[in-house]
């Protein structure tokens, strides 16, 4: 059994109690689905749009939110929701309400403008440094009661970019709150030495009417994503991360004491690592997004208590029997003779997503026939027993891009569609 199947098996056992229902029991003989997916199939055939959709299981989502909040509370921190991984205002609002947070992390200027309107009371931290022109567009398009000078933190990574932002702030006659990106081991940019940090803090100190120091962000997903053991254990990597983070904090406190104050945003973590930050008391908050839905790339030991909560569902358009490859025609029978999992062929509505087949079991794309985003060929054993207009279910490999591809998200509870949430456009 490979690592992913082992993790899914473990998750499946843990999922039995989620929402008070048996979510992952074996299906009845003769059915292509277990109880969970059979119920969803029936609901979608009766009340769904009969096109590809993204389902969000609210019972499972509630479970994941509660797991996150228990950890956040144990660590004495705040939770910041990562908007790009949960790219729907309705989904974000649902999670924020249950989690009791108004903190968001935004990554994209059009989404940022939307957040400022839809969530006027939010505290927003940028998750990456934006080109200064994008920042200018934000201010040009901003409207509503959200106050950027008080509620928004721009993430800055170099003295040169900070100089650009300063010039923009001076031209606009506004003050910008600056959160400084730290390289704590990811090596994707950010401050990597005290000299560089000193330049930025010095510039902020010299322009208090236009710049305000808001804190630090140190992103450390590599600690929990399973780097080769020869490079260090998760604990050793985490210790190194915190040593670097502490070093930058100590330097700022000692060299720029007037900038240091209570209430600074000391952001860290991500979905793979939020749990390990229960050990430290330096950071003030952790960022979590994808872990709320747990796509396949997040089947990680650090997220073993989480359960998959997002599924693609798409109807079978055609069932054509044994695999039949263009130009090979009757010679295609060799494939069905050799591989029982090519003795049934289905063409689904859409396809070629960043996703893996989940239910019915044993389905696979046909790489020889080729992938398709219109009508993808899917093969399986005749025992799959799918019929035209039955649903094929897939788990996305990630959330941030895939969730934007299906129109409204369909929230389901107890196997019934109860919410329809538009995604960001």
Domain ranges (residues) in the chain: 3-52+307-398+406-421, 59-293
pLDDT over 70 percentage in the chain: 86
Query: Band of the pLDDT at 324, cuts 50, 70, 90?
Result: low
At residue 21, the pLDDT reads 33
Model confidence at 326, pLDDT cuts 50, 70, 90, reads: low
Q: Is the pLDDT of residue 180 over 70?
A: yes
Supply the pLDDT for residue 31. Answer: 73
Sign of CA dihedral 349, 354, 360, 365: positive
pLDDT at 221: 83
Confidence of residue 13 (pLDDT cuts 50, 70, 90): very low
- pLDDT band for 22, please (50, 70, 90 cuts): very low
- Cα gap 398→202, rounded to integer Å: 40
What was the pLDDT predicted at 230? 56
pLDDT at 341: 63
Mean pLDDT of the chain: 89
Radius of gyration of the chain (CA): 24
**Residue in the structure block whose two tokens are 């502490």:** 246
- Class for domain 3-52+307-398+406-421, per CATH? mainly beta
* Confidence band, pLDDT 50/70/90 cuts, at residue 222: confident
Q: Supply the pLDDT for residue 26.
A: 32
Per-residue confidence at 331, pLDDT binned at 50, 70, 90? low
What's residue 218's pLDDT? 95
Of 105, 77, 68, 100, the C-alpha closest to 275 is 68
* Model confidence at 357: pLDDT above 50: yes
CA distance 383 to 402: 30
Q: How confident is the model at residue 336 (pLDDT cuts 50, 70, 90)?
A: low
- Going from the C-alpha of 414 to that of each of 17, 40, 117, 289, 315, the distances in angstroms are 12, 9, 32, 23, 21
Output the DSSP codes for 313-339: EEEEEEEEES---TTTGGGGHHHHHH-
Q: Is the pLDDT of residue 131 over 50?
A: yes
Question: In the chain, pLDDT over 90 holds for what percent of residues?
Answer: 76
pLDDT band at 176 (very low <50, low <70, confident <90, very high): very high
* pLDDT for the residue numbered 15: 36
Distances (CA, A) of 227 to 222, 234, 300, 308: 7, 8, 12, 23
Task: Please give the pLDDT value at position 164.
Answer: 98
The pLDDT, as a whole number, for residue 106 is 98
Assess whether pLDDT exceeds 70 at residue 325: no
- Cβ–Cβ under 8 Å, residues 38 and 22: no
Architecture of the 59-293 domain: Alpha-Beta Barrel (3.20)
Q: Does an H or E element contain 125, and which?
A: strand 123-126
Which residue would you say has higher pLDDT here, 135 or 228? 135
């Amino acid at each position: 059994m490979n690592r992913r199947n082992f993790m899914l098996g473990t998750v499946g056992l843990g999922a039995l109690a989620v929402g008070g229902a048996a979510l992952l029991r074996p299906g009845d003989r003769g059915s292509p689905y277990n109880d969970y997916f059979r119920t969803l199939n029936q609901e979608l055939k009766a009340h769904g749009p009969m096109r590809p959709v993204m389902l969000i299981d609210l019972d499972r989502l509630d479970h994941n939110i509660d797991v996150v909040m228990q950890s956040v509370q144990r660590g004495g921190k705040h939770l910041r929701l990562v908007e790009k991984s949960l790219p729907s205002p309705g989904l974000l609002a649902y999670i924020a309400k249950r989690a009791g947070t108004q903190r968001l992390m935004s990554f994209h200027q059009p989404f940022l403008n939307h957040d400022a309107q839809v969530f006027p009371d939010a505290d927003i931290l940028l998750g990456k440094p934006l080109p200064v022109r994008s920042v200018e567009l934000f201010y040009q398009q901003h409207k509503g009661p959200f106050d950027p000078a008080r509620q928004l933190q721009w993430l800055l990574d170099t003295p040169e970019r900070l100089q650009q932002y300063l010039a923009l702030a001076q031209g606009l006659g506004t003050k910008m709150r600056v959160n400084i990106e730290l390289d704590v081991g990811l090596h994707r940019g950010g401050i990597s030495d005290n000299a560089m940090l000193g330049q930025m803090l010095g510039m902020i100190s010299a322009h208090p009417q236009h710049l305000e120091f808001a804190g630090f962000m140190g992103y450390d997903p590599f600690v929990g994503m399973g780097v080769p053991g020869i490079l260090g254990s998760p604990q050793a990597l985490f210790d190194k991360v915190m040593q670097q983070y502490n070093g930058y904090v100590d330097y700022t406190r000692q060299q720029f004491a007037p900038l240091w104050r209570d209430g600074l945003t000391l952001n860290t973590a991500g979905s793979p690592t939020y749990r390990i930050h229960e050990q430290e008391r330096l950071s003030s908050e952790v960022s979590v997004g994808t872990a709320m839905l747990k796509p396949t790339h997040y089947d990680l030991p650090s997220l073993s208590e989480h359960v998959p909560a997002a599924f693609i569902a798409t109807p079978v358009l055609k069932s054509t029997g044994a695999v039949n490859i263009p130009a090979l025609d009757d010679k295609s029978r060799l494939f069905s003779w050799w591989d029982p999992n090519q003795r049934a062929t289905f063409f689904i509505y859409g396809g070629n997503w960043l996703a893996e087949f989940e239910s019915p079991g044993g389905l696979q794309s046909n790489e020889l026939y080729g992938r398709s985003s219109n009508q993808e060929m899917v093969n399986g054993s005749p025992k799959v027993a799918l019929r035209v207009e039955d649903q094929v279910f897939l788990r996305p490999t990630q959330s941030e891009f895939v969730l934007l591809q299906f129109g409204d998200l369909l929230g389901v509870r107890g196997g019934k569609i109860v919410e329809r949430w538009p995604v960001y456009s």
